[in-house]
Amino acid sequence: MTQSSGRNLPDIRGIIADLDGVVFRGDTPIESAVRSFAAWREAGIPYCFVTNNSTRTTEEVAAKLTAMGVLTDPGQVISTATGTRGILRRTWPKGGRAYVLGAPSLEQAVVEAGFEIAEERVDCVVAGLDKGFTYARLDRAVSLVMGGARLIGTNPDVLLPKDGGFEPGAGSILAAIVAATRAEPLIVGKPQPHLIQDAVARLGIDHGQVIMIGDQLETDIVAAQRAGVFAVLVETGVPNPSGSGITPDLTVSTLTDLQAIMAGRVKA
């Protein structure tokens, strides 16, 4: 299925894409996406990936993509771990102390920002996807936020696609902290436009000639539109809620459909 909002597809000189649900599901590549990115690479169209996932380094993400057949180097990957590092550096240029719920890659980014990982007297609580999350860690995070620490969330995604279904995302952990504290978190990733803006700058192409491909209306599509980038929804990822009021510029069933539209074989 292909649906258009009526907005004309731009003269595409660069592509930004989400990962989970767009290029792969868990550890399984989406073959239509692999073929499409190979074709775009062959055509000389540069691409960059933005991911709300903070559990892997950019080197690990690039290696995973390359092994799947989507040739990628670390400079083509922007994650919420690297985004968190940038926000911490801008907000606390002299460094500080942080309590981190997340993977080693997120902790590494926090340390690179000049922060000490700590469990008391912290400036901020950074909440990402933490597969070792426990009630005790929730209790500690809530206590610190209620004591005045700033709450920073890598992303609000409550579900992530995986082989054969879905799993809770970082947004589920963040939601638990917010429910207990009523704190307003600073969100690093999508639906905020920061990662998209970073990717446009990385590509070095005017935002009017770039498209953003994602599978989630409330994060990927909103972030693209906030950044002023043409937003393409691909239906290979998580189910989207009906009646959200969010309208992509273009909806395609798979990236094969988008590739055909870009090549002029079919109309949007």
Note the pLDDT of residue 167. 86
Q: Is 18 a catalytic residue?
A: yes
CA-based nearest residue to 248, from 267, 230, 226: 230
Residues 178-206: tens digit of each pLDDT: 999 999 999 999 999 989 998 999 999 99
Fold of 2-52+190-262: Rossmann fold (3.40.50)
Structure tokens at 25: 């599901």
Question: How much is the pLDDT for 162?
Answer: 74
Give the pLDDT confidence score for residue 238 in this predicted structure: 76
Joined together, the tokens standing for residue 34 give 């692999």
Q: Note the pLDDT of residue 160.
A: 77
Known active-site residue 20? yes
Low-confidence ranges of the chain (pLDDT < 70): 1-6, 265-268
pLDDT computed for residue 7 by the predictor: 75
Closest Cα partner for 128 from 161, 162, 190, 171?
A: 171
The predicted pLDDT at position 26 comes to 83
Rounded-to-integer distance, Cα 63 and Cα 151, Å: 31
How far is the C-alpha of 85 from the C-alpha of 219, rounded, in Å?
A: 20
Which of these is catalytic: 18, 123, 130, 257?
18
pTM attached to this predicted model: 0.83
Helix axes 104-112, 80-91, angle to 10 degrees: 30
* Interstrand relation of 47-51 and 28-29 (parallel, antiparallel or unpaired): unpaired
For residues 1 and 267, give the distance between their C-alpha atoms in angstroms, rounded to a whole number: 12
Element (H, E) at 68: helix 58-68
Q: Which pLDDT value is given to residue 244?
A: 79
| Fold match, 2-52+190-262 / 92-187 | yes
What lies within 8 Å, CB to CB, of 138 at 6+ separation is 173, 176, 177, 180
Residue ranges covered by each domain of the chain: 2-52+190-262, 92-187
Query: Could you give the CA distance from residue 126 to residue 153 in angstroms, rounded to a whole number?
Result: 6
Of 11, 20, 130, 157, the catalytic one is 20
Q: Which two tokens stand for residue 247?
A: 């309208």
| Domain 92-187 is found in CATH 3.40.190.10 | no
Distance, CA of 213 to CA of 18 (rounded, Å): 6
What are 236-253's pLDDT values in tens digits?
A: 887 777 777 899 999 999
Angle formed at CA 42 by CA 63 and CA 258, multiple of 5 degrees: 90
Q: Which residues have a Cβ under 8 Å from the Cβ of 198 and sit 6 or more positions away?
A: 50, 78, 83, 86
